[in-house]
Amino acid sequence: MKFKFPLRNIKPDELIKRCSYATWQGHEEKPSFARRLSSGLYPRFHIYLTEYDTYFELDMHLDQKQASYEGSRAHGGEHEGVAVENEARRITGIIADIYNTK
């Protein structure tokens, strides 16, 4: 799921961290963040962050498990569904609250 926010006086990566996400050091070229849903690595929400001139975009999915075949980084990430929609609403609400108090 992709969603956008206007750029304001707070860096996008700081906003994501305020939403309980941590920097994720994967194999990606883009900045990446994750929020674990249990004590293990999975399941977790995973976000790619892309900044543009006037806005930033979040590309989020839910990683349910690790890749099931050797040599692959692909996984069964869910890009839609109730859990993803609820998490997008949660993030949007937090960012809106931060923007409204600054």
Whole-angstrom CA distances from 84 to 89, 94, 98 are 9, 15, 21
- In this prediction, residue 52 carries a pLDDT of 97
Q: How far apart, in whole angstroms, are the C-alpha atoms of residue 56 and residue 41?
A: 26
d(Cα 17, Cα 22) in Å, to the nearest integer? Answer: 6
Instruction: Report the distance separating Cα 44 and Cα 13, nearest Å.
Output: 18
Give the whole-number percent of the chain exceeding pLDDT 70: 86
The string of DSSP codes covering 11-31 is: -HHHHHHHTT-EE--SS-SS-
Tens of pLDDT along 49-84? 999 999 999 999 999 987 665 554 555 678 899 999
